[in-house]
A = this chain, B = another copy of it.
Amino acid sequence: MDRIQRIAIVGGIHGNEWTGAYLVQKFAQYPDLICRSSFAALTLLGNPAALAANRRYIDKDLNRCFRLEDLQNPALTGYEEDRAREIYRILGPGGKTPVDLLIDLHSTTANMGLTLILGQDHPLMLHLAAALSARHPLVRVYRSIDSGREYDSLRSLCPLSLAIEVGPVPQGVLIAEIFQATEALIHTLLDALDHYNQGHWPPGDRLLTCYQYLGAIDYPRNSQGAIQAMIHPQLQSRDYQPLHPGSPLFLTFEGEAILYQGEATVYPIFINEAAYYEQGVALYLTEKQTLQIPGEGNCQRSI
């Protein structure tokens, strides 16, 4: 396979998600921590102005600014639109220091544990996800394929990419336990990448449990757009747990339960993420899947 020569670790694409922003600043201060023999690593603080303001963004969500036609559109001149172009010129294809693999660090108020978000089924990324799942009990793998996010997010810049989404952690807060768990996960990831880079592939096929995006559900709202209900207490914090037809989804302010009307059992994630209220998302629904990752022979062909 082609060796991964340079990777990027990005944090603070959202300025109020401090876990990634502070981890990236730590790695920038101590570059030996992310150095491995077989590849170079660079760090990038995504949205410094939003971090200083302790806001998700200044003008527009930076992680929606990487669509190619937007990057090439000179009429888009908001802070994040400019910043997306800067980032593209640094680590994008044809940029100053293009990278082969990109890790984007995020945090969420939802109980997402240590979630790996994969936008493609590249065998290397699936193998990395399997290696991390085997070593960290809180790791979950969310396949965001067909969610639309694979065309406008930072990770769309690089064919080998993943986002790490950790929680629950409030915006503008550091939780040491989550900071340390995320750092440990990154070290495991870098070690695994180094290992694979040196030609060590698992001999046979492996199985990977993952959760495939199905769709989003918004809060019940009135005609003015004001929410009329909250996540039901029986659903709160139960990310990646099965939600059966007829189970409680929301609780109105008057105390009435609103039930899930779907016909199949699904697996909600990003339940009650703070930043998604304004995006009209109370939770995502996913399908639990088991993927078969090809072993050594197939991988050598497909990478």
A175 at the interface (CB under 8 A from B): yes
Contact, CB under 8 Å: A109 / B230 = no
Choose among B175, B227, B233, B272 the residue that contacts A272 (Cβ–Cβ < 8 A): B175
A78 at the interface (CB under 8 A from B): no
Q: How many residues of A contact B (CB 8 A)?
A: 29
Contact, CB under 8 Å: B172 / A253 = no
Contact, CB under 8 Å: A174 / B22 = no
Contact, CB under 8 Å: A173 / B109 = yes
Contact, CB under 8 Å: A278 / B173 = no
Contact, CB under 8 Å: A233 / B274 = no
Residue of B nearest to A255 (CB): B180
Contact, CB under 8 Å: A171 / B174 = no
Question: Considering the chains assembled together, what is the distance between the CA atoms of A233 and B176 in angstroms?
Answer: 6
Question: Considering the chains assembled together, what is the distance between the CA atoms of A253 and B22 in angstroms?
Answer: 8
Question: Considering the chains assembled together, what is the distance between the CA atoms of A251 and B106 in angstroms?
Answer: 21
Known: A26-B253, A236-B177, A253-B22. A277 touches B172 (CB 8 A): yes
Residue of B nearest to A234 (CB): B176
Contact, CB under 8 Å: B176 / A274 = no
CB contact list, A173-198 vs B, under 8 A: 173-177, 179-180
A232 at the interface (CB under 8 A from B): yes
Question: Considering the chains assembled together, what is the distance between the CA atoms of A177 and B251 in angstroms?
Answer: 10
CB contact list, A250-303 vs B, under 8 A: 251, 253, 255, 272, 274-275, 277-278
Chain B residues near A177: list those with CB within 8 A: 233, 236
Choose among B22, B233, B253, B278 the residue that contacts A54 (Cβ–Cβ < 8 A): B278
A170 at the interface (CB under 8 A from B): yes
Chain B residues near A84: list those with CB within 8 A: none
Contact, CB under 8 Å: A230 / B179 = yes
Known: A22-B253, A274-B171. A236 touches B109 (CB 8 A): no
Contact, CB under 8 Å: B236 / A176 = yes
Question: Considering the chains assembled together, what is the distance between the CA atoms of A227 and B172 in angstroms?
Answer: 12
A16-55 interface code vs B (CB 8 A; 1 in, 0 out) = 0000001000100000000000000000000000000010
A105 at the interface (CB under 8 A from B): no
A210 at the interface (CB under 8 A from B): no
Question: Considering the chains assembled together, what is the distance between the CA atoms of A172 and B232 in angstroms?
Answer: 17
User: In angstroms, how far is the closest chain B Cβ from the Cβ of A228?
Assistant: 10
Question: Considering the chains assembled together, what is the distance between the CA atoms of A252 and B177 in angstroms?
Answer: 12
Chain B residues near A251: list those with CB within 8 A: 176
Complex A-B, nearest 5 residue pairs according to Cβ-Cβ distance, in ascending order: A170-B170, A176-B230, A109-B170, A174-B230, A172-B274
What are 7 A-B pairs at a CB distance below 8 A? A26-B253, A168-B170, A172-B275, A174-B227, A174-B230, A175-B231, A180-B255
Binding site for B on A (CB under 8 A): 22, 26, 54, 109, 168, 170-177, 179-180, 227, 230-233, 236, 251, 253, 255, 272, 274-275, 277-278
**Given A170-B170, A176-B231, 6 extra CB contacts under 8 A:** A170-B274, A171-B172, A171-B274, A174-B227, A175-B236, A179-B230
